[in-house]
Structure 1
Amino acid sequence: MSGGFDVVSESAIRDGTATDAYFLRTEETLEAADRNPRVVAEVTQDQFPSGEFDLLAGVKDAANLLEGIPVDVDAVREGRLFDGGPVMRIEGDYLDFARYETSLLGLLSHQSGIATAALEARRAAPDSSVLSFGARHVHPSLAAVVERGALVAGLDGFSHVAAGEVLGREASGTMPHALVIAFGDQETAWEAFDESVDPDVPRIAICDTYSDEKDESIRAAEALGEALDGVRLDTTSSRRGDFRHIVREVRWELDARGHEDVEIFVSGGLGPENLRTLRDVADGFGVGGHVSNADPLDFALDIVKLDGELASKRGKLSGTKQVFRTPDGGHHVGLADRADPEDGEPLLEPLIRDGEIVREFDVDEAAERALEDAELVGFRE
């Protein structure tokens, strides 16, 4: 019995064996027939705009996958919203990239779904601190994928330590209920944390372990005094009742006792609707499953040009395309060799030229694009 984890290796992704078997059979068949057509292939979710925008992420990983392969790739920039038409275009000899389709689509589909869900949370509480707490819901090998998608959407941070090492960011988080239970009482746990943990770590006390939120919040403020930065309410759904009222009650009682500077953070199964309801009474949120459990976007890769001629399967649009953003927030799809819409900004830009990556990736810049685009197109208003 093997003691290892069921994880596909990076080497398998890079050599293209992390693929569906029929692509290897396709390679075998084309090579035997001495056939290797020059193609243009496009990655799309919907052919035409539908009015429902999604956020593109995973482009950095996609570029790393295709680096060194003699192809030209154009792609929408990470952090842009799109609605129909291609998000990526590959031009090259088909056998040079055929076996990479499965991994390519997975890299784009999964992180884009996560980023889109994270942007829903960001837009629901634009002025609050929102952290990604959902890494526990996915295979640990995917934690950095989840957290990077959250950052692309503009979330303020995340909780996973190893993901932070991958992404060059410090993980956030203070104490779980388990710490309080391990000590047997709240005050002992809060004071031990304050005495032991680096002073740079905020003192955010979990305040709903054994008694109600108001009681524990008052006790935390009394126990830690000026050292207390905030309280976290992670109340299980079976005990919440009117959660907004609970948060307002905690705020009232802290303020009444002179603890106006103590912030209130809320977590535990929260989605965008919860954030909209609580954003004016809570200072920050931890969002878990809504982000990490997001459905991947349903991208497909289709040949649209074969040896210079128009080509496509049923239900797909032939020809090399471009997508445009107009100043009014519109998303337009058209043939690349035709006139663009008035004042339209072309979104497909060079990513790889003859196997060399010609673009840099900055997650903060991607987040700025996401938030600007979301405002422009009215994302999930």
Structure 2
Amino acid sequence: MSQPFGTVSADAILEGAATDAYFERTRATLEHAGKNPPVVAEVTADQFPTGSFDVFTGVEDVATLFEGRDVDVDALPDGQLFDGGPVLRVEGSYLEFAELETSLLGFLSQPSGFATAALEARLAAPDSLVLSFGARHVHPSITASVERAALLAGLDGFSHVAAGEVLGREPGGTMPHALMFCFGEGNQAAAWTAFDEAVPEDVPRIALVDTFWDEKSESLLAAETLGEDLDGVRIDTTGSRRGDFRHIVREVRWELDTRGREDVDIFCSGGLEPETIRNLRDVADGFGVGSHITGADSVDFSLDIVEISEGSSDPSNSRTQSGDDGEPISKRGKLSGEKQVYRTPDGGHRIALADAEPPDGGEPLLEPLIRDGEIVQEFDLEEASERCLADAETVGFGDRAGPASDATDG
């Protein structure tokens, strides 16, 4: 039975039906040939460090995907930053997880891209209020994934109501231009007054001030209309009419301050990029970021077998029959052999064979996620966010000259 809105069902994902067709044909071929070798497979984006870090997330969904499968899985912790090498490792008989590869990569690739972009926005204004406003740019079925990635990267909140129900968080937001249009030009004061009278007291009184007149005029009118109840103004000026956006914000700030309204915050939104945020963070108090997060490139993860054993020729062959006799193997351009990745004291990201001596002072990052089909990790969004922000500082995320990360040890 088809799903509404053209979505794929959770059952299809868990059963392995949400897969590429060639995995089904691979299963048919291997079963026909009586082959099901024990393997070690690793998920990577870059084989070697590049000096450019990304945020790893989506691991909780991966744990759900593999639960009950006869495999062992190790992964980076949720929110960890990485620069090359494996982020996740699967050990088991190949046919135990072959069809899950497509969903596995999807669970990791897009959320990690969202989180990385959100971290860029967060660090562009570390002392400001930064909210996620991008839910309208993605399919509604994945909005909770977007907003979770934003929270993991340290953003202060988001706007999507249903995502809030999934995540157990209260969404934020005040008024759109449509509200102002419904009252009409010249009636801005009536719109703001009606909003003030209608919404709960705990909703900030943030007036949208760029609809009909210039931002300064509407900001001063909002301050006059709502008086001490006005918490802030939002400037969402269309890019084609901004000119010098920083000057607009400074002018509004000056005119409000001149009238004794230093208490009124200025919130900016509308296609903001990290560079724009950095340019405004000393004159604005908060930012809404949308398309920079939702338009982020997915992290280009792939899953590759890096070790294979002769094992049993029985397609029902168990993971536990593989023993320690695996042979390194890889396609051209990929690195064979089971690996570990390390965070070094200087913030570097190092890759080494799993049985090699770790780098001096290196902290191993891959840790157990699934053992014998059981989830052995707990997931906490607050902890993941703290990890993300702390690791970003350690590795110098966003710095033009961060710590060296160009070593692979064998």
TM-score range, shorter chain: over 0.9
Which deviates further from its counterpart, 101-110 or 3-12? 3-12
- For the pair 1:193 / 2:211, whether they are aligned, the reply is no
Cα distance in 2 for partners of 1:3, 1:258 equals: 56
Matching of residues 16-165 of structure 1 within 5 Å: 16-165=16-165
Matching of residues 350-365 of structure 1 within 5 Å: 350-365=368-383
**Long gaps (5+) in structure 2:** 310-325, 400-410
- For the pair 1:325 / 2:327, whether they are aligned, the reply is no
1:5 deviates by 1.1
Cα distance in 1 for partners of 2:173, 2:50 equals: 39
Cα distance in 2 for partners of 1:10, 1:219 equals: 50
1:191-231 deviation per Cα after TM superposition (whole angstroms, max 9, x unaligned)? 00000001011111100000011111111011011111110
Aligned length, in residue pairs: 380
Q: Secondary structure in 1 aligned to 2:90?
A: strand
Residue in 2 aligned with 1:279? Answer: 281
TM-score by length of 2: 0.91
1:3 deviates by 9.5
| Residue 371 (structure 1) aligned to one of 383, 389, 403 | 389
Cα distance in 2 for partners of 1:63, 1:258 equals: 55
1:347 deviates by 0.4
Residue in 1 aligned with 2:244? Answer: 242
Read off the aligned partner of 1:315 and give its amino acid letter: G
| Residue 272 (structure 2) aligned to one of 253, 270, 273 | 270
Cα distance in 2 for partners of 1:295, 1:152 equals: 18
Distance change >3 Å, CA 22–CA 3, structure 1 → 2: closer
Read off the aligned partner of 2:203 and give its amino acid letter: V
TM-score by length of 1: 0.98
1:228-249 deviation per Cα after TM superposition (whole angstroms, max 9, x unaligned)? 1110000001111111111111
- For the pair 1:291 / 2:298, whether they are aligned, the reply is no
2:3–2:9 Cα contact (<8 Å) kept: no
> Displaced runs of 4+ in structure 1, greater than 6 A?
none
Residue in 2 aligned with 1:204? Answer: 206
Cα distance in 2 for partners of 1:14, 1:219 equals: 55
Cα distance in 2 for partners of 1:198, 1:294 equals: 35
1:4 deviates by 3.1
Cα distance in 2 for partners of 1:239, 1:278 equals: 17
Matching of residues 308-347 of structure 1 within 5 Å: 308-347=326-365
Read off the aligned partner of 2:369 and give its amino acid letter: L
Read off the aligned partner of 2:327 and give its amino acid letter: E
Q: Secondary structure in 2 aligned to 1:379?
A: coil
1:281-319 deviation per Cα after TM superposition (whole angstroms, max 9, x unaligned)? 100000010001111010000000101111111111111
Read off the aligned partner of 1:378 and give its amino acid letter: G
Read off the aligned partner of 2:134 and give its amino acid letter: G
Q: Secondary structure in 2 aligned to 1:328?
A: coil
Cα distance in 2 for partners of 1:286, 1:28 equals: 50
| Residue 234 (structure 2) aligned to one of 232, 235, 238 | 232
Cα distance in 1 for partners of 2:281, 2:7 equals: 39
RMSD value, Cα: 1.0
Cα distance in 2 for partners of 1:278, 1:93 equals: 54
Read off the aligned partner of 2:341 and give its amino acid letter: V
Cα distance in 1 for partners of 2:147, 2:216 equals: 32
**Long gaps (5+) in structure 1:** none
What percentage of aligned pairs have identical amino acids? 71
1:327-370 deviation per Cα after TM superposition (whole angstroms, max 9, x unaligned)? 10000000010100001000000111111111111111111111
Residue in 1 aligned with 2:13? Answer: 13
Q: Secondary structure in 1 aligned to 2:332?
A: coil
Cα distance in 2 for partners of 1:292, 1:266 equals: 18
